[in-house]
Amino acid sequence: MSELLKPIFYYSVLSGNIGDRAIRKSIVEAIKERIDVPFAFFNTQNAELNEERIIKQLNVEGSALIIAGGGLYCNIKKSSGWYFPCSPELFELIKIPIILFGIGYNSHLKGTQFREGFDEFTANSIAKINKYAKISTVRDQRTYDTLAEFGVTNHELMLDPACFLKYKEQKKIKRVAIQLAQHSPILGRYDGTQEYREKNIKAYAEICEYLHWKGYEVIFIAFDPLEQSIIFDLKKLFPHLLFMNTDNIDTILEEYSRCAFSIGCKMHSNILSFATKTPFISLYYDKKSPEFLKMINWEPLGFPIFDLNVKHVKQGIEYIENNYRYLRSQLWYWLETDRPKFNKAIDRICEVIING
C-alpha cells in the first residue's frame, strides 16, 4: 500500500469558464501521474483563509498549498489585494509549502474591471507571497518582469499549464472552431453595454459566411455556459453554424484537434487550440492574450476585438491556409521546447509534497 499523503489545498477561480478548469485539470493530472495525493479545491473568490483556519486546518491537514490559475495577479478587492483571499500579515503563519503555479498578470484593454498597474499594498502582498513560496512560475514575460520589479527573484517563466493537457488526437477535417465572449460588462454582459457584443456578432457572422464560402464547416465552442446566447444570436445570422456547449474538456480538446484551425476570443480558446497543435487567430480583449502570442511568436495572428476588422481576419485565414504545415510545425516546436520545463516543475512540486 502506498504512503497516505495529506491533501493538497488548491486555490483557483472555480467558475463556469473552461479555461480556469483546463489549468486545474492539467496540473492535477500531471501530479497524480507521479504521486497518489488527494486535492481539496477552494475558490479564490470567497474561500477566505483566516488565522484560525491556517493554524487549525491548513497547517494540520494539508501537505501543500497550491495557488494556480490565469490572471490571479490583478487589482481586486480581496484581503490580499489580488485574487487570493488571505491577508498578507498571515502569510508567514502558513507552515506547509506554498506553490504558485502558472499565474499571470490580468488587465483589460478597455473597461475598469482589471485596471493596469498595482497599488503599493498589492505589490507588497504579491512580493511577500513569492518570498515564502517554494516554487513560483508565471505564464508570460510581462508578469515575470512585473514581479522582478517587486523584488521577486525566485520565479520562473513557462507556458500556461493548460498548454500541456493530454488529448486523443483526431483526424483533421475542413472545419473551423470559433469562440466569442461576453463575460464582462464591456463585452456585453447583462450589466454592461451591448455595443461591442452586437458589433462582434455581426463581424463573426461575416467571418462565418466567408469560411462557408471557402468550403469550411464552422463550429462555435462555448467557454462559458452563458455564451450559449451568442450561439442563438449568431445562428440567426448564420444558420449553418454548428455548436458545442459542454464542460467536458476532453471533448473540447478532441474538437480542436479535429478542426483545421480556430478563431477565438478568450485566451484559453487559443491555448487549447495550441495544445492540440491547431493553428489559431486570436481576437483578444485583454493584455494577457497578446503576451501569450509573444511567447510563441504568434503576434501577426492576433487582433484586438474592440477594433475588430473583418478584413484583417480574412487575411489571417489566408495566411494560415498558405502556411499551414509551417505553422503546425511551429506549434509542435514550442510545445516540445517548453514541455520539459513543465515536467521539471511538476517533479519539483511532487518532491516538495513528499518531503515537505
**Residue 287 pLDDT grade (very low, low, confident, very high; cuts 50, 70, 90):** confident
C-alpha cell at 180: 466569442
State the CATH architecture for 8-162+338-355. Answer: 3-Layer(aba) Sandwich (3.40)
Distance CA(224)–CA(228), nearest Å, equals 8
pLDDT of 177 > 90? The answer is yes
pLDDT tens column, 73-94: 988 888 999 999 999 999 999 9
pLDDT of 1 > 60? The answer is no
CATH 3.40.50.2000 domain locations along the chain: 175-322
Q: Other C-beta atoms within 10 Å of 306: how many?
A: 18
Pairing of strands 133-138, 98-103: parallel
C-alpha cell at 325: 504545415
* SS3 (DSSP) at 353: helix
> Given this model, what pLDDT does residue 112 score?
60
> What average pLDDT is seen over the chain?
94
- CB neighbour list of residue 62: distance below 8 Å, 6 or more residues apart: 6, 7, 8, 9, 40, 96
pLDDT tens column, 100-157: 999 988 776 576 656 667 889 999 999 999 999 999 999 999 999 999 999 999 999 9
C-alpha cell at 116: 493596469
How many Cα atoms sit within 13 Å of 69 on the Cβ side? 25
pLDDT tens column, 225-260: 999 999 999 999 999 999 999 999 999 999 999 999
pLDDT tens column, 295-343: 999 999 999 999 899 999 999 999 999 999 999 999 999 999 999 999 9
> Given this model, what pLDDT does residue 25 score?
97
State the CATH architecture for 175-322. Answer: 3-Layer(aba) Sandwich (3.40)
Tell me what the mean pLDDT of segment 175-180 comes to. 98
Tell me what the mean pLDDT of segment 350-354 comes to. 93
User: What's the residue count for the chain?
Assistant: 356
- End-to-end C-alpha distance for the chain, whole angstroms: 21
Tell me what the mean pLDDT of segment 10-14 comes to. 92
